[in-house]
Chain A
């Protein structure tokens, strides 16, 4: 990381498809930096589950075999999107047993998708 120079020079980079996350993080930081500079408040998450703030880091491995006739990269994209919807969206992020609820929803989705693959 220090090999990118002591302070990386963004103007010299050639950001591509795989750097989307870096671009998005810089955009969010720039948004908050400018909000603050304009005298606005930069607030953290107001959500609480069991008195603590929910976070979103996870590994999920579901048994969903390839489906014949469907491009597998498209299927993976679909699984990624469905899993992320459960992990980020919905009313279950403010309940005390959030983790359990997320796990159950993911297991439900796995069963549905697995059944679809078996058809």
Chain B
């Protein structure tokens, strides 16, 4: 099936009780799964804006995040500008999670170095007044932007920052978008490609588990897969009485996906009914991926309302704080009020 692929397929075993004849475990498909610096898929994912945190997760102090296997902090200056910096201070490696946002940047708690949102070193206050160190060096930084409850970063070459794309689903009339994120302890690709696997809904969500969704979903649909100007869609078609239900999930390359309502059951006619969620599957590293999602709340329809409340329950259950589960940050860190003018820490230097 995998034409033009460097992956060779394992052959089925041809004897009963043949587990003994299994070949040793082969390596993963590095080209598509690995995301750390210099990896092919990582390079592709770095070329588009990626969500890194919910805006609501970021308080007055910086938030430790991890993307593409890099430890970083995201912060907001006191004037409301967003920045993403390498987590460890260029001076002596102190975590900038404990830094103090200022009007124009982030000040390291250890010796007071001040970094701009672009990584410019603005002050090295412990050095003599004539020191030119700050004029020569930069700290690692990435462009950041807040949009409707999510903070995005761009991790590619600084000379080719793309325009922030606005898709029609961000502006759907009457929608209020609610962001959430779920951390998955596995590679980004297997989370993402599930969106293009409509058959799993028939089995996992319906026949095997006795219906997460309506019974209509238990029919194996007629399936097709079609390229679009943004990537690809699946096309599933099912009959329900006198109706024919056509559904498409959408993948916007490389890692944005849009999924229809799970409470759709084909009983009421509709034409081009809208998406139910817009989600990015972003890599923390090659073994951990995060789904960052915007789910619209739409006012009309009692049916939608009841199904929607069911979904928001699973959302709350599924929500995992990135900083705790994915970043390995000390859970005991307690930010203290900024009016102390010093960050407080439950760790020792």
Is the pair B196, A25 in contact by a Cβ cutoff of 8 Å? yes
Binary B-proximity of A35-76 (CB < 8 A = 1, otherwise 0): 011000010111101111111111111111110000011011
Closest Cβ of chain A: how far from B259's Cβ, in Å? 7
Q: How many interface residues does A have (CB within 8 Å)?
A: 76
Q: Does B36 contact A (CB under 8 A)?
A: no
* Contact yes or no, B41 A21, CB < 8 A: no
B32 touches A6 (CB 8 A): no
Query: Interface readout for B224-267 with A: 1 if CB under 8 Å, 0 if not?
Result: 11111111111111111011111111111110001111001011
Q: How far is the CA of A23 from the CA of B13 in the complex (A)?
A: 22
CA distance A107 to B192 in the complex (A): 33
Within 8 A of A (CB), among B1-53: 1-5, 7-10, 12, 25-29, 31-33, 40-41, 43-44, 47-48
CB distance from A3 to the nearest CB of B (A): 8
Cβ contact within 8 Å between A45 and B230: yes
Q: Which of B170, B224, B237, B247 has the largest number of chain A CB atoms within 10 A? A: B237
* Complex: A106 Cα to B271 Cα, angstroms: 6
Q: Using a CB–CB distance below 8 Å, which chain A residues touch chain B?
A: 1-2, 4-16, 18-30, 32-34, 36-37, 42, 44-47, 49-66, 72-73, 75-77, 79-81, 83-84, 87-88, 93, 98-99, 102-103, 106-107, 110
Which residue of B is nearest A66, CB measured?
B239
By secondary structure, the B interface counts as mixed
A interface, over-half SS:
helix
Contacts of A106 in B (CB 8 A): 271-272
Report the Cα distance A69→B258, complex, angstroms. 37
15 contacting pairs across A/B (C-beta < 8 A): A6-B287, A7-B286, A13-B9, A24-B232, A33-B40, A44-B162, A52-B167, A53-B165, A54-B230, A59-B261, A63-B242, A76-B238, A76-B239, A84-B233, A84-B246
Closest to A59 in B: B273
Shortest Cβ distance from residue B231 to the other chain A in the assembled complex, whole angstroms? 6
* Interface-lining segment among B88-96, B180-188, B305-313, B336-344: B180-188
Whether a CB of chain A sits under 8 angstroms from the CB of B191 is: yes
Q: Say yes or no for B213: interface residue by CB 8 A criterion.
A: no
- The answer to whether B196 touches A64 (Cβ under 8 A) is no
Whether the Cβ atoms of B12 and A55 lie closer than 8 Å is no
Instruction: Tell me the residues in window 148-169 of chain B with beta carbons closer than 8 Å to chain A beta carbons.
Output: 162, 165-169
Do the beta carbons of B170 and A18 come within 8 Å of each other? Answer: no
CB-defined contacts of A81 to chain B, threshold 8 Å: 224, 235
Q: Are B229 and A58 in contact (CB under 8 A)?
A: no
Q: Which of A33, A64, A84 lies in contact with B32, CB distance below 8 A?
A: A33
Q: Is B269 an interface residue (CB 8 A)?
A: yes
Q: For the complex formed, measure the closest distance between the CB of B294 and the CB atoms of chain A, giving whole angstroms.
A: 13
Q: A49 vs B25: C-alpha distance in the bound complex, in angstroms? A: 49
A58 touches B247 (CB 8 A): yes
CA distance A19 to B196 in the complex (A): 8
- Cross-chain contact B186 with A6 (CB below 8 angstroms): yes
Whether B10 pairs with A12 at a CB distance below 8 angstroms is: yes
